[in-house]
Amino acid sequence: MSSGESRTGGDASGRSHAAGLAHRVPDLGALELLLAVARLGSLGGAARELGISQPAASSRVRSMERQLGVALVDRSPRGSRLTDAGALVTDWARRIVEAAEAFDAGAQALRDRRDSRLRVAASMTIAEYLLPGWLVALRAQRPDTAVSLHAGNSAVVAQRLLADEADLGFVEGVSVPAGLDSAVIAHDRLIVVTAPTHPWARRRRPLAARELAETPLILREKGSGTRQVLDAALGGLARPLIEVSSTTAVKAAAVGGAGPAVLSELALGEELAMRRLVRVPLDGVSLARDLRAVWPTGHQPAGPARHLLSLTRAQPRT
């Protein structure tokens, strides 16, 4: 423990800010409560909706205000309305709660494995970024559909479908595995990104295919959908600088300045918006790829599978 003590003083380098997040952000229950208050205009009403007592709600909101150092609701003898700051906080809180809903829907699908009526197999990128949203939507419309989820690469997805261990699959590879029918549900594109400090970040002239092929890149492992597409586009030439097994690890390496990386734009929303990574324009190579729903040839999706499929269509191009 003494070693622990001695370290504590240093306050964990740059990460000290993130460390106490949980102490500075109200917990999910409190945020849900705040949303309910916003919607219903009354502490007591919100309490009833969440199945707790009115004093509990009152004290919880109060302690949230103390924690944030900001008045969130105007209490009056005939109801409670959000303050200006409260409205803003509530909007930010909603993002957390929505992320939590997606988490919940996903986690439920990982658990339900046994008796589920709809068994889904999906590639990692889709399972990470798209599926939770679909599951939330599905649950909203058909709350009683138990879904199970298995994530793996294209080969695994195909295998599970053909072994009747899954009813519906999603793949992101460049080709559709044999024995499966498919429908395109969205378009994705791989993009080249670097840390803002990298020389390429300031390039104006688009990168040529050859340059990309000749430069060592941070990449997903061979066999991943992302890698397949890139190799195909470059003619199998992609040179790995580092090879890692998750999108997250690729991003971490790129943000850390290890070098240029190639990633699905699906995975890069936040990083691009916050400029932790910047996109490098590319010329002469098309890294577009289709995201597809797949199912065993002949077995048109029906029932819950068909319903989920209908939710995934027409991903808008913003």
Residues 58-77 that bind DNA (CB under 7 A): 58-63, 75-77
Residue 302 interacts with its own copies (CB under 8 A): yes or no: no
Residue of 7, 17, 28, 55 that binds DNA (CB under 7 A): 55
Q: For 181, phi and psi rounded to 5 degrees?
A: -95, 160
Element (H, E) at 217: strand 217-220
Question: CB of residue 255 vs DNA: minimum separation in angstroms?
Answer: 24
Tokens encoding 252 = 């971490």
Which of 59, 63, 175, 248: binder of its own copies (CB under 8 A)?
Answer: 248
Instruction: Tell me the two tokens of residue 105.
Output: 């829907």
Whether the Cβ atoms of residue 240 and residue 219 lie closer than 8 Å to each other: yes
Among 2, 21, 204, 298, the residue binding its own copies under the rule CB under 8 A is 21
Interface with DNA (CB under 7 A), residue from 35, 36, 38, 80: 80
- If one counts every other C-beta atom within 10 angstroms of the C-beta of residue 71, the result is 13
In 70-199, DSSP assigns E strands to 73-76, 79-82, 118-122, 147-151, 168-171, 180-194
Among 128, 167, 172, 188, binds its own copies (CB under 8 A): 128
d(CA 2, CA 86): 43
Return the SS3 of 102.
Answer: helix
Q: Which of DNA, its own copies, none has residue 62 at its interface (CB below 5 to 8 Å by kind)?
A: DNA
| 1 contacts DNA (rule: CB under 7 A) | yes
Site for DNA in 109-148 (CB under 7 A): none
Q: Does 318 bind its own copies (CB under 8 A)?
A: yes
Query: What is the four-CA torsion angle of 314, 227, 233, 257, rounded to 10 degrees?
Result: 100
Subset of 176-195 contacting its own copies (CB under 8 A): none
Interface residue with DNA among 25, 56, 137, 156 (CB under 7 A) is: 56
Distances (CA, A) of 172 to 107, 183, 186, 203: 22, 12, 10, 30
Q: Is 264 in the site for DNA (CB under 7 A)?
A: no
Residue 182: how many other CB atoms lie within 10 Å = 17
Query: How many helices and strands, by DSSP H and E, does the chain display?
Result: 15, 13
Question: Cα separation of 314 and 41, whole Å?
Answer: 37
Which of 272, 290, 306, 307 lies at the binding interface for its own copies (CB under 8 A)?
Answer: 272
Q: How far is the CB of 202 from its own copies (least distance, A)?
A: 12
Tell me how far CA of residue 10 lies from CA of 16, 20, 116, 133, in angstroms: 9, 15, 49, 40
Choose among its own copies, DNA, none what residue 43 binds, the Cβ cut-off being 5 to 8 Å by kind: DNA
Interacting partner of 316 out of its own copies, DNA, none (Cβ under 5 to 8 A depending on kind): its own copies
Asked if 108 touches DNA (CB under 7 A), the answer is: no
Decide: is 43 part of the binding site for DNA (CB under 7 A).
Answer: yes
Q: How far is the CB of 200 from its own copies (least distance, A)?
A: 15
Which 101-120 positions form the footprint of its own copies (CB under 8 A)? 101-104, 106-108, 110-111
Residue 9 lies near its own copies (rule: CB under 8 A): no
Binding site residues, DNA, CB under 7 A: 1, 27, 29-30, 42-45, 51-56, 58-63, 75-80
